[in-house]
Structure 1
Amino acid sequence: MINLRGFLLTLCSVLFLSFITACSSETSVETNGANNSEEADGGILKILLSEEPSSEDALNNSFKKWAEETGNKVDTIVIPYDDQITKFPLMLKNDDVPDLVSTTRLTRLYPEEFLDLTDVVDIGIFDQAALEIIGQDYDSDSNLALPNQYTITSYFYNADAFEEVGIEVPTIDDPWTMDELISNAQKLKDSGDVNYGLAVDFSRGRYDNLMYSNGGSITQETEDSFVVSINSEENVQTLENFVEWNETDLMPKVIWTGGSTDNPADYFKNGDVGIYLSGSWEYSPMYEEITAFDWGVMPSPIGSLQQSAIAGGGGLGIPSSAENPELAKEFLEWFYKEDNYVEFLAQDKGISFINGVTYEPEDEKVIADYEILQAEMKNVTDRFLVDEKSAWRNYLDSEYRDVIKRAVSGELTAKEALDVFANDLSEKSDWEIAN
């Protein structure tokens, strides 16, 4: 049993020495290179990624540099996040798995299919909070995924639109309430300076911030197990509010009804949205791409109970049936060497997951934004940590987002949607529904 408060304090304290993560994109490339004739006939490292990367992607650039230095080649396969649930088992069945997987959940869903990496590198170099949150395994000593990204959810704002409307930006010491955020988002929309006051990623991980801030949770811990609490009164009210924001066009409803594949990040980058709930992984792309207006990061609002932020990230795992596991281990050993990691971190502008290694920005804007993002770590709630500990996503995952979508689209009421998910999760997990 983990000590949730102690775990949370560990999570917060280490980040006073690190910086925000950004670039979550990944890539599909093949890189050839050799620095000397002895390594000219290197192997081919097959890597599974979930997204095409930009040219600035720090992890992809690390793959390239490793290939150039060692004479190996990199062959990447891109399978979108949602498709990996069905396609990775087929890879296993066909004995055609990659050598290295960049993932946020495959090691959790298929732990028996991945190598324990505890002895591949010195596990002691990693921040323990990052290792546990990214590995998503609180009950064993195995390390099936080693960090390659450490993130925190965050609110971005259009500074030019705020100034035009006369809205004062909230501060760490004086954050908005959720009611104030919605009121100001409405002012932004009504002004005509933006088309929408608020946008939220099509992700339960962003939506859940609203739930936790209002005192809700997906599960609750009992003496020896968990109960399902997703359909509590607090959660129903949160979803009713979320549906209303979409119905009144405060938000681009098409994002949460599934009527479009539009990326809400693009809405913000194009100046169409005043406030955007996403995560620190978007910081670097925004820093590189937004030139038409000033923007910044603001503290999370206080719901009916508290502020909420969600920590997460991605890891690198080696399938146990990989053709070239030793080559994958060689990359990991290379990647976590201090010189290589420092170069990666400087490109990624990310939260460091290695103890004693930090990225220190020179840009005053980035320094100011980082202070806010770093402060968000104290807003990771006990309720989130209990939900993580329950591993409820081993039973259901995208189904949760789907019932929220059905509520936003009007197919179900908020209560009906959450009752559906509560019953399904209870049946799958054999947990009772909380009274």
Structure 2
Amino acid sequence: MKKLTASTAMSIALFAGASAAWADEITFLCYQDANECDVIAGMLPAFTEQTGHTVKLETVGYDVIRDQLENQLQTDAAPDVARVTNLGGLNQYYLDLAPYVDGAAWEASYGATLPWFRQPGGADQGIYGWMTQLTVTGPFVNVSLFEDAGVDMPGDGATWDDWAAALLDVKEATGITAGLAMDRTAHRWAGPAFSYGAKFFDDSGNPILVDDGFRKYAEVFVGWHQSGLMPAEGWPAGEGTQYRNAAPLFQSGDVAMHMSGSWMINSYAENISDFDWKAVPAPCGDGGCGAMPGGAAVVAFKSTKSPEAAAALIDFLAAEENAAAFAAQTKNITAHQGLQESGIDYADASPAVAAALSVFAANAGKAAQTTPQAYTFQGYAKNFVIYGVIPDYITKAITGEMTLDEALAAIDADVAAKIAE
């Protein structure tokens, strides 16, 4: 064995010291609906081994991301990386990953979702984040309640009117609190609105909101509360832009349907044991079979002092092998287009989870074909304005604080004013 010369040994020591010096620690603010952050945490040792960089992962509640992150981004308290859902709305803070990653590979794998992060108009071609998963809205139903009531469940292609009638029959037969509960947010409200014909945007991409379809669904939605189909503990119990999760009502067996989305699959699989449940196809209408696509993404911020390390982490997570492992372990719909074609092996998924994933994936496809405004809405940089305005005024129409005409006029005026700011 050859002996190292003193100069060679010194060079190796210097190289090792330099490599350690070049390695950065980045902070990662992460929220999870089920186990997403836990799965990412399990991948981090391989990232550190591959790059030398380390990651300080902090798992927080979604309210921290929704209510506090933007304030942090305006101060020195901002993380380097975070998992977010307000994709277009936070664009001004994003680090463009394009100088640090293979842009062609990203376009091939994630080209359908990259525009969701960008400034509108088409000039922005930056690469800003990795969609950890695709989510899509749609209903879950309590199968046991339908069986107990002796009510036939509407099938694929059924309308919201069909479902409303069936759910009222279940409510009357079983004595449950309500037939249908919906999370208090315009994100869940939008899918049914699309089914009733709401366009949300004109041909130039400007938000119009209160067209004939929007008005029709608003009338129906208020009527669902007046008839007792929807519970007083839901939308009427909230104020302003307040979000209310309807999952507890469904998990307790107090309602027969929860209008939510694919992110609830794992939680329901783990937490519901008293009744059988399943996901059902998005109900349809004159406007199509509406569902809102979306999901959470991992992004880096301009304020980071370690842009190469932050970009390397996102590139690592987005790689096909890691994206496949993430989807399989979290039981989510992947945003990686190659994996969408080849499929994800959910080997240890229960039949209920596998079936639900299939239903929600189909909901996303139907929405893309029949209600493309859903994808436009998801990528619209100021969609957060609409998310805030709709629950406020629709709730006032439900409670009688305003007439429906007054509420709809206020929605249009408020959205127009806020978008112009």
Amino acid paired to 2:259: L
Percentage of pairs with the same residue = 24
Distance 1:305 1:92, change over 3 A: closer
> Which region of structure 1 is more displaced relative to structure 2, 379-388 or 195-204?
379-388
- Is the aligned partner of 1:241 residue 2:226? no
Q: TM-score, normalised by structure 1?
A: 0.78
Q: Equivalent residue for 2:308?
A: 326
Tell me the CA shift for residue 281 of structure 1: 0.8
Please, what is the CA RMSD of the aligned residues? Answer: 3.1
Deviation at 1:217, TM superposition (A): 2.6
Q: Indicate conservation of the 8 Å contact 1:197/1:250, yes or no.
A: yes
Aligned-partner SS, 1:108: coil
**Distance of aligned partners of 1:238 and 1:112 in 2 relative to their CA distance in 1, 3 Å threshold:** closer
Question: Alignment partner of 1:254: what SS?
Answer: coil
Aligned mates of 1:253, 1:89 — CA distance in 2:
32
Q: Does 1:279 align with 2:261?
A: yes
Query: C-alpha deviations, 1:252-308, integer Å up to 9, x for none?
Result: 222212449763112212222111111111111111221111111111222243221
Q: CA deviation at 1:42?
A: 7.0
2:48 counterpart of 1:58: no
Residue 127 of structure 1 corresponds to: 110
Residues 136 and 401 of structure 1: is their aligned pair in 2 closer, same or farther, counting only changes over 3 Å?
Answer: farther
CA 1:209–1:82 in structure 2 vs 1: closer, same or farther (change >3 Å)? farther
Is the 8 Å Cα contact of residues 108 and 394 (structure 1) preserved in structure 2?
A: no
Structure 1 residues 129 and 92 mapped into 2: Cα distance closer, same or farther (>3 Å)?
A: closer
Q: Which of structures 1 and 2 has the bigger CA Rg? A: 2
Shift of 1:392: 4.3
Contact 1:58/1:345 (8 A) holds in 2: no
| Alignment match, 2:141 | 157
SS of 1:371 mapped into structure 2? helix
Aligned equivalent of 1:35: none
1:411 corresponds to 2:401: yes
Residue 388 of structure 1 and its aligned partner are, at CA, apart by 4.7
Alpha carbons of structure 1 residues 129 and 194: separation in structure 2 relative to 1, 3 Å: farther
The answer on whether the counterparts of 1:214 and 1:303 sit within 8 Å (CA) in structure 2 is yes
Measure the CA separation in 1 of the matches of 2:119 and 2:126.
11
Distance 1:366 1:84 in 2: 27
Alignment of 1:92-241 (within 5 A): 92-105=73-86, 108-121=88-101, 122-133=105-116, 139=122, 140-172=124-156, 175-192=157-174, 194-222=176-204, 226=206, 228-241=207-220
Once residues 399 and 112 of structure 2 are traced to their aligned partners in structure 1, the CA distance between those partners, rounded to angstroms, is 37
What are the residue-to-residue correspondences of 1:77-96 with 2, within 5 Å?
Answer: 78=60, 80-81=62-63, 84=66, 87-96=68-77
Aligned to 1:360: 345
Distance 1:199 1:299 in 2: 16
After superposing the two structures, state which structure 1 stretch, 332-341 or 71-80, moved more. Answer: 71-80
- Number of aligned positions between the proteins: 384
4+ residue segments displaced more than 6 Å: 38-42
Report which of the two has the higher share of helix.
2
- Distance in 2 between the 1:81 and 1:167 partners? 38
Confirm or deny: 8 A CA contact 1:67 1:73 kept in the other structure. no
For 1:344 and 1:168, how far apart are their aligned partners in 2? 37
Tell me the secondary structure at the aligned position of residue 285 of structure 2.
coil
CA 1:91–1:127: 2 relative to 1, 3 Å: closer
Structure 2 contact 185–387 (Cα < 8 Å) conserved:
no
Q: Distance in 1 between matches of 2:176 and 2:275?
A: 12
The alignment status of 1:370 with 2:357, answered yes or no, reads yes
Q: Residues 231 and 396 (structure 1 numbering): CA distance in 2 closer, same or farther, change over 3 Å?
A: closer
Q: 1:162 to 1:220 in 2, by over 3 A?
A: same
- Following TM superposition, by how much is the alpha carbon of 1:189 offset from its aligned partner in structure 2, in angstroms? 1.0
Tell which deviates more after alignment, 181-190 or 379-388. 379-388
**Deviation of 1:138 (Å):** 6.3
- Distance, in Å, in 2 between the alignment partners of 1:82 and 1:396 is 21
Mapped pair 1:47 → 2:34:
no
1-structure distance, mates of 2:336, 2:46 = 24
Q: Measure the CA separation in 2 of the matches of 1:178 and 1:193.
A: 21
Q: Which runs of 5+ in 1 are unaligned?
A: 1-37
Q: Which moved more, 1:186-195 or 1:128-137?
A: 128-137
Q: What is the identity, as a one-letter code, of the residue corresponding to 1:277?
A: M
- Show structure 2 runs of 5+ residues with no match: 1-18
Structure 1 CA distance for aligned equivalents of residues 351 and 73 of structure 2: 48
CA contact (8 A) 2:139 2:279 kept: yes
